[in-house]
Structure 1
């Protein structure tokens, strides 16, 4: 199985939803989209060809992929949709404050940006308490983490994306305790927050990843694609409509159908 299918515990969530052992998910015969993208569903490291199965979140992504010249797409909806089905929201105290996801680097590219300027923008925008959720790379760097801690923000990390089956469960719990979700880039976390009941915002210094072509990462393109989702205040009804489309909410399949799409076996107790 492609190792990225395990990112954020996606394969485990789908296996649990299908009534199969979450700790030992069956093989997926292709590559599962693991994060929101404004292009064909996959990142710079995936050089996929025709004939290789591509399991993606939405028809939006499928159409972009076909325009790119790729085929063999199956739209199943984001694993986040299935997690929401598995973990229905229970009565809880009133939501409070904002959880902010600053744009992050990754294993091969360092993050470049003005953290002090971002902090000033957040302070000027958010009326309540702020939780800064850092990607593990930035969280593990004291010179970045402490900048936000000294600003008076609660600073957390959901964990590492690979090998951590609890990542999305922790993210869901955090989103459900906050009234707003915000970021300086339009990312998966913003769409997840909208689906989990948060009011979204996208604003602040967009930052960069060192050595990555700005055209590829979409820093200037994405705000033009989705101007409705950018700004310190966003119309919630419009945001929910866009999030539902990008997460493929209407493609959420019942367990029996999802097993067929993934070519997974029937659970022993129902076989």
Structure 2
């Protein structure tokens, strides 16, 4: 239905788990990252008028950030508009473990600074963070988001401090999640300066977690930055010496371990158990049109939607049109021991 279904290799991981030979169009929307508020507001708001025939597939029924039964997650008749299926990362982790494909935990500290996007910028002291990591944990591996790699001053802040910089690649690359899994399974410790999807992945994969460093501001408006709310809702992650066994339980809950589906059920929820011309049409035509109407203000988004983009004009979106338009579906990525090792080399900048 939308390009976000194929961000970060998520559709590839789900197709692989379902035993598919290729990726198909999805009859709905898949949550593509951990959220502090409901994905209905954070990620699906451009399609809020769609009915129950287009599923909103979220990761979990038990997030601390929002109630599964809250009003924003229901249709006007009171029925739920969301269905939890578990995070694609968990399916990939399960499949790679089953194939005995996880690498040895031989990497030292792995750092993932808070990152922005083409639309939502991050302001913060990368050089100061790089020096603090060097002082506390020594030379480390730093995974920068592809958007940050476009800024030489960010890249040089880390390399000048003696760290090794890698990247998981473009968000439309089907190998993205495999690279992230390799990093999380290889690293002894995963560090960030804020609660994030990556920290949840690292914890679920068995790595130790630590949050420290300067707290970057996400977006132009400090009042819409969810950083303070993260500290309030997940204080365990911000402790000086966190209990990593307790963090793993929380991470698995936030990622929806308890909501994972068997392959045949997952195929049905994705609309992959039957031919669907509607999903094809949604992806290439009606979906992009609805998104454009929402961006231009011709269709109303629900209150509280996309708060990190507050104050942005439609022209801001139009500066990066191809980042939001559909493209041919990605190819299926393999999850094998050889692939996990090969991704180490591919992921390096």
TM-score (norm 2): 0.70
Three-state SS of the structure 1 residue aligned to 2:16 is: helix
Q: Which residue of 2 aligns with 1:164?
A: 173
Displacement after TM superposition at 1:92 (Å): 4.7
The C-alpha deviation readout for 1:176-195, integer Å capped at 9, x for no partner, is: 22100111111100000111
Stretch of structure 1 that moved more, 202-211 or 5-14: 202-211
Does residue 252 (structure 1) correspond to residue 255 (structure 2)? The answer is no
**Aligned match for 1:64, one of 62, 67, 71:** 67
Q: Flag the 1:266–1:233 CA change in 2: closer, same or farther, 3 A.
A: farther
Three-state SS of the structure 1 residue aligned to 2:62 is: helix
**1:60-139 alignment runs, 5 A limit:** 60-61=62-63, 64=67, 66-71=69-74, 72-88=81-97, 89-90=100-101, 92-126=103-137, 128-139=138-149
Stretch of structure 1 that moved more, 146-155 or 57-66: 57-66
Would the aligned equivalents of 1:41 and 1:65 in 2 still touch at CA under 8 Å?
no
Q: Flag the 1:53–1:92 CA change in 2: closer, same or farther, 3 A.
A: closer
Three-state SS of the structure 2 residue aligned to 1:87 is: helix
* Cα RMSD after superposing both structures: 2.2
Displacement after TM superposition at 1:205 (Å): 0.9
**1:181-260 alignment runs, 5 A limit:** 181-211=190-220, 213-260=221-268
Stretch of structure 1 that moved more, 241-250 or 224-233: 224-233
Displacement after TM superposition at 1:5 (Å): 0.2
Q: Which residue of 2 aligns with 1:143?
A: 153
Q: How many residues align?
A: 262
Q: Flag the 1:50–1:60 CA change in 2: closer, same or farther, 3 A.
A: farther
- In structure 2, distance between residues paired with 1:68 and 1:201: 34
Would the aligned equivalents of 1:50 and 1:70 in 2 still touch at CA under 8 Å?
no
Would the aligned equivalents of 2:31 and 2:43 in 1 still touch at CA under 8 Å?
no
**Which runs of no fewer than 5 residues in structure 1 stay unpaired?**
none
Does residue 46 (structure 1) correspond to residue 42 (structure 2)? The answer is no
TM-score (norm 1): 0.89
Displacement after TM superposition at 1:49 (Å): 4.1
Higher RCO (C-alpha under 8 Å, 6+ residues apart)? 2
Q: Flag the 1:254–1:91 CA change in 2: closer, same or farther, 3 A.
A: closer
Q: Which runs of 4+ in 1 moved over 6 A?
A: none
